[in-house]
C-alpha cells in the first residue's frame, strides 16, 4: 500500500461517499488509487466547479464536502470555491496534488505555493512532507472542517508522499471526536431580564442556526416567546415562510415589514448572525434604539461590528432551549408587525403579458414546495430570497458572503448527489450561467434530474440596476444582447430544453418542465428594465427603502430606452 492508497481507505473510513475533482499529473497516484474505491468520484469540467459542488453537497447535507485537483492551475482554480466556503462557514476538505518534495521551490512544472496562497481562506492548511504524517493530517483536517465554526481545510499532497510505502501506517479509522459538553452558557439570566423588560423585541436569525443544527431549537424558542422574527439571506427557512411570527428577510433587499420592525425595535435577539453590511445597511443607524443579545458559537463574531449588551457564547441550541423560559409581553407590537406584513405583502399582478420573475418564482415554489434551490448571484438570487417559500434552511443554497457568480449549477450538482431522491432546482441568470456552463456536461453524464431555470434579461442585471439608479444611467459593460441560444446549448449536452416568453404559457410550461424525467432546462425571457424591490441604497439606513414607484419616476423622463426582449428564433 502506498500513501495514496492509504488516503483513499482513510477517506472511506471517514464516511466520504462522494468527491468532486479533476485529475492531473501530480494528483495521478491518488486517482490510480481511486479505482475500485467505494467512493463515487464525480468528474467536473472545471476545478472551480469541483469546489463549488463540494460546497453545495456540504451545505445541504451538513457533512464534509471533498474536492480534489492537481497542482498549479488545478489548485488555483479551486480558490474561489474555497473562499466561498470560508465566508459562508461550509465544512470542506480540499485535496491538491503538489510536485515532489525534492522539486518544491524550484519552479517545477505546475508548481504553485497553494499552501501559502490559500492561508487567508482556510481554517487550516497541511503540507505533509512524509507519508508518516498522513494519519494525523487526515484526522485533524476532518475534525477542524466540521467542528466549531465549520470551514474549509486544505491538504496539499506532494506526489512522492502519495507514492511512498504506507504498509506500516495504522489501518484507517475515523477519528473519535470528544463528547460535546452541554454547558449552560453565561449571560442567560441577563438575557431573560432584557426580554422581560422589552416592549418591541425582534429576533434576528442568521445562517448560524442551520450551521449549528439548531433549527428545531430556534423554532421552539419562537413558538414559546412569539416574538416577531426576521432572517438573513442565509437564515431563510429557519422559520417556515408562512410562520405567523416571520416578517421576512431584512436588509438591502429585505421586506419593508422586516426592516421597519428592526429599526423600531428596543431589543434585538441576534441568533447566529454577524451584522453583515447587506443586512444592516448603514451600521451606525441600524436598530438605533435597540439593546442587543447576541447568541453565537464563534466568539469572534460577538462585539465585532455591534456591541452586545448581553453576549451568549456557546452552542446555539443550548442557549435557545434555555431562553424558551423568557417572558415576552409584546402583544401590541406583535400585532403591529403582523399588520405590516399584510400591508406590505408582495404583489404579483404586474401589468403586461411578459414574464414577471417574482410571480414565476413564487409559482415554481408552489409547484415544487419541497425543492432544494441552488441560486447563482444577481437579481434572480434576490427574487428567489424574496418570493420562494422556504421551509428548511438546508433547501436554500445561496452564495452569501462571497457572492460567487457561477455558484448555482455546481452547487445544485452537489446537493443532488447528497440527496438523490430530492427535487433540485438551479435558478440562474444569463450572466452567471456562463461562468460554469460547462457543468451541463456533468449533469448530463450523471443523469442528474436537476431542473435549471435561466432568467435571461440580456444584461448583467444587478450591475445594470445600480448603474441606472446610482450612476446616472451610464451603462458600462453590462450588455449581454449577444447571448447565445441557451436552449440549443443545453440540447447539445443532451438535456431537454424549453423556452418561456409569454405569461399566458407560464402555467402549462412550468408543469411540463417539472414533469420531465431527468434534467431539464427552461430558458425564460424577462424584461431588462425589471428591478429588484425594495432596495436600500448603499450607505443608507434600512428605513430609506426605494421601491418601484420611485424608480418609475427616475426613468420616466426617457421613454426611448424601452426594451423589447426576444429570444433567439
The reply to whether 156 and 293 lie within a common domain is: no
What residue ranges of the chain have pLDDT lower than 70?
175, 177-184, 549-569
| 3-state class (DSSP) for residue 286 | coil
How many secondary structure helices (H) and strands (E) does the chain include? 23, 18
The reply to whether 12 and 99 lie within a common domain is: yes
Residue 350 falls inside a structural domain: no
Residue 349 falls inside a structural domain: no
Q: What is the pLDDT of residue 560?
A: 37
Residue 169 falls inside a structural domain: no
The overall longest dimension of the chain from CA atoms, in Å, is: 78
DSSP E strands: which ranges in 31-115?
40-43, 65-69, 92-98
- Which of residues 163, 196, 212 is at a domain's end? 163
Q: Break the chain down into helix, strand, coil percent, rounded to 5.
A: 40, 15, 45
Q: Which of 5, 14, 30, 47 is catalytic?
A: 47
451-456 vs 520-525, strand pairing mode: parallel
Does the annotation mark 47 as catalytic?
yes
Q: What is the pLDDT of residue 183?
A: 61
**By the 8 A CB rule, do 395 and 375 touch?**
no
Does the annotation mark 221 as catalytic?
no
Cα dist. 318→130, 171, 183, 218, 240 in Å? 42, 37, 8, 10, 21
Number of structural domains found in the chain: 3
- Facing residues of 21 across strands? 43, 68
CA torsion through residues 362, 363, 366, 367, sign: negative
Does the annotation mark 20 as catalytic?
no
**By the 8 A CB rule, do 398 and 46 touch?**
no
424-429 vs 497-500, strand pairing mode: unpaired
The reply to whether 317 and 291 lie within a common domain is: yes
In a 10 Å sphere around its CB, with 0-12 CB exposed, 13-18 middle and 19+ buried, how is residue 105 labelled? exposed
For the segment 518-548, what is each residue's pLDDT rounded down to a tens digit?
999 999 999 999 999 999 999 999 999 998 7
**By the 8 A CB rule, do 166 and 1 touch?**
yes
In total, the chain counts a number of residues equal to 569
- Which of residues 163, 179, 204 is at a domain's end? 163
Contacts of 41 (CB under 8 A, 6+ apart): 18, 19, 20, 21, 34, 68
Q: Which of 110, 434, 438, 551 is catalytic?
A: 110
Residue 176 falls inside a structural domain: no
DSSP state of 305: S
CA torsion through residues 196, 201, 203, 204, sign: negative
Does the annotation mark 159 as catalytic?
yes
Does the annotation mark 291 as catalytic?
no
Residue 218 falls inside a structural domain: yes
* Dist. CA 464–CA 467, nearest whole Å: 5
Q: Which of 92, 104, 249, 462 is catalytic?
A: 462
**DSSP string for 520-562:** EEEEEEB-TT---SSBPPTTS-TT--B-HHHHHHHHTT-GGG-
The reply to whether 130 and 213 lie within a common domain is: no
> Kind and range of the H or E element at 283?
none
| 3-state class (DSSP) for residue 255 | coil
- Facing residues of 546 across strands? 535
The reply to whether 268 and 291 lie within a common domain is: yes
- Which of residues 343, 376, 411 is at a domain's end? 343
* Dist. CA 83–CA 404, nearest whole Å: 9
Residue 175 falls inside a structural domain: no
Q: What is the pLDDT of residue 7?
A: 98
Q: Which of 40, 109, 470, 561 is catalytic?
A: 109
Residue 177 falls inside a structural domain: no
> Kind and range of the H or E element at 304?
none
**By the 8 A CB rule, do 209 and 234 touch?**
no
For the segment 434-443, what is each residue's pLDDT rounded down to a tens digit?
999 999 999 9
DSSP E strands: which ranges in 318-410?
372-375, 396-397
328-356 in b/e form (b: 16+ CB < 10 A) is bebeebbebbbebbeebeeeeeeeeebbb
DSSP state of 234: T
The reply to whether 510 and 382 lie within a common domain is: yes
The reply to whether 444 and 333 lie within a common domain is: no
The reply to whether 378 and 411 lie within a common domain is: yes
**By the 8 A CB rule, do 166 and 235 touch?**
no
In a 10 Å sphere around its CB, with 0-12 CB exposed, 13-18 middle and 19+ buried, how is residue 13 labelled? middle
* Dist. CA 169–CA 238, nearest whole Å: 44
**By the 8 A CB rule, do 82 and 92 touch?**
yes
* Dist. CA 407–CA 90, nearest whole Å: 14
CATH of the domain at 223: 3.40.50.1220
The reply to whether 145 and 217 lie within a common domain is: no
Contacts of 344 (CB under 8 A, 6+ apart): 255, 256, 257
The reply to whether 318 and 420 lie within a common domain is: no
- Alpha helical stretches, state H, 344-418: 357-367, 379-387, 408-418
46-55 in b/e form (b: 16+ CB < 10 A) is bbbbbbbbbb
Q: What is the pLDDT of residue 122?
A: 98
Residue 205 falls inside a structural domain: yes
Q: At what angle do helices 461-470 and 548-555 cross, to 10 degrees?
A: 70
CB atoms within 10 A of CB 359: 18
Q: Which of 30, 98, 104, 159 is catalytic?
A: 159
The reply to whether 96 and 202 lie within a common domain is: no
CATH of the domain at 156: 3.40.50.970
Range of the domain at 15: 3-163
The reply to whether 367 and 324 lie within a common domain is: no
Amino acid at each position: 500500500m502506498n500513501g495514496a492508497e492509504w488516503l483513499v481507505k482513510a477517506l472511506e473510513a471517514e464516511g466520504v461517499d462522494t468527491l468532486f475533482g479533476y485529475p492531473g499529473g501530480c494528483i495521478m497516484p491518488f486517482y490510480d488509487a481511486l479505482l475500485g474505491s467505494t467512493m463515487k468520484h464525480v468528474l467536473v469540467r472545471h476545478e472551480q466547479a469541483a469546489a463549488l459542488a463540494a460546497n453545495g453537497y456540504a451545505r445541504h447535507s451538513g457533512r464534509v464536502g471533498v474536492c480534489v485537483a492537481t497542482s498549479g492551475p488545478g489548485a488555483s482554480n479551486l480558490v474561489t470555491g474555497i473562499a466561498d466556503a470560508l465566508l459562508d462557514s461550509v465544512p470542506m476538505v480540499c485535496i491538491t496534488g503538489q510536485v515532489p518534495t525534492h522539486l518544491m521551490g524550484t519552479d517545477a512544472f505546475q508548481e504553485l505555493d497553494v499552501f501559502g496562497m490559500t492561508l487567508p481562506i482556510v481554517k487550516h492548511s497541511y503540507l505533509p512532507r512524509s507519508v508518516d504524517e498522513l494519519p494525523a493530517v487526515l484526522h485533524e483536517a476532518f475534525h477542524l472542517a466540521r467542528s466549531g465554526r465549520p470551514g474549509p481545510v486544505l491538504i496539499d499532497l506532494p506526489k512522492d508522499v502519495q507514492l511512498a510505502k504506507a504498509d506500516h501506517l495504522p489501518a484507517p479509522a475515523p477519528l473519535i471526536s470528544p463528547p460535546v459538553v452541554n454547558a449552560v452558557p453565561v449571560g442567560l439570566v441577563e438575557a431573560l431580564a432584557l426580554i422581560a423588560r422589552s416592549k418591541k423585541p425582534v429576533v434576528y436569525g442568521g445562517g448560524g442556526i442551520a450551521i449549528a443544527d439548531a433549527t428545531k431549537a430556534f423554532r421552539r424558542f419562537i413558538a414559546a416567546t412569539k416574538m416577531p422574527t426576521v432572517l438573513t439571506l442565509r437564515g431563510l427557512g429557519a422559520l417556515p415562510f408562512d410562520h405567523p411570527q416571520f416578517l421576512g428577510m431584512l436588509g438591502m433587499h429585505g421586506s419593508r415589514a422586516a426592516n421597519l420592525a428592526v429599526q423600531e425595535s428596543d431589543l434585538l435577539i441576534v441568533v447566529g448572525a454577524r451584522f453583515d453590511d447587506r443586512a444592516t445597511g448603514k451600521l451606525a443607524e441600524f436598530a438605533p434604539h435597540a439593546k442587543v443579545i447576541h447568541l453565537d458559537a464563534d466568539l469572534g463574531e460577538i462585539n465585532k461590528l455591534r456591541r452586545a449588551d448581553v453576549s451568549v457564547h456557546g452552542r446555539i441550541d443550548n442557549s435557545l432551549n434555555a431562553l424558551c423560559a423568557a417572558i415576552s409581553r409584546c402583544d401590541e407590537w406583535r400585532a403591529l408587525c403582523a399588520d405590516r406584513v399584510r400591508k406590505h405583502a408582495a404583489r404579483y399582478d404586474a401589468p403586461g403579458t411578459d414574464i414577471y420573475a417574482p410571480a414565476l418564482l413564487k409559482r415554481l415554489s408552489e409547484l415544487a414546495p419541497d425543492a432544494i434551490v441552488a441560486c447563482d448571484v444577481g437579481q434572480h438570487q434576490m427574487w428567489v430570497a424574496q418570493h420562494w417559500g422556504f421551509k428548511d434552511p438546508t433547501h436554500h443554497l445561496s452564495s452569501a458572503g462571497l457572492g460567487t457568480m457561477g455558484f448555482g449549477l455546481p452547487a445544485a450538482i452537489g446537493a443532488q448527489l447528497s440527496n438523490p431522491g430530492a427535487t433540485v432546482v438551479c435558478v440562474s441568470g444569463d450572466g452567471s450561467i456562463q461562468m460554469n456552463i460547462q457543468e451541463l456536461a456533468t449533469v448530463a453524464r450523471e443523469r442528474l434530474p436537476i431542473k435549471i431555470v435561466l432568467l435571461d434579461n440580456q444584461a448583467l442585471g444587478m450591475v445594470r440596476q445600480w448603474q441606472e439608479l446610482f450612476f446616472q444611467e451610464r451603462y458600462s459593460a453590462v450588455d449581454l444582447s449577444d447571448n447565445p441560444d441557451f436552449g440549443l446549448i443545453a440540447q447539445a449536452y443532451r438535456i431537454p430544453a424549453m423556452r418561456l416568453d409569454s405569461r399566458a404559457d407560464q402555467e402549462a410550461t412550468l408543469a411540463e418542465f417539472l414533469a420531465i424525467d431527468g434534467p431539464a432546462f427552461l430558458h425564460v425571457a424577462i424584461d431588462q428594465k425589471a428591478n429588484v424591490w425594495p432596495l436600500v441604497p448603499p450607505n443608507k439606513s434600512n428605513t430609506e427603502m426605494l421601491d418601484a414607484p420611485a424608480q418609475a419616476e427616475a426613468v420616466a423622463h426617457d421613454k426611448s430606452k424601452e426594451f423589447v426582449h426576444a429570444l433567439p428564433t
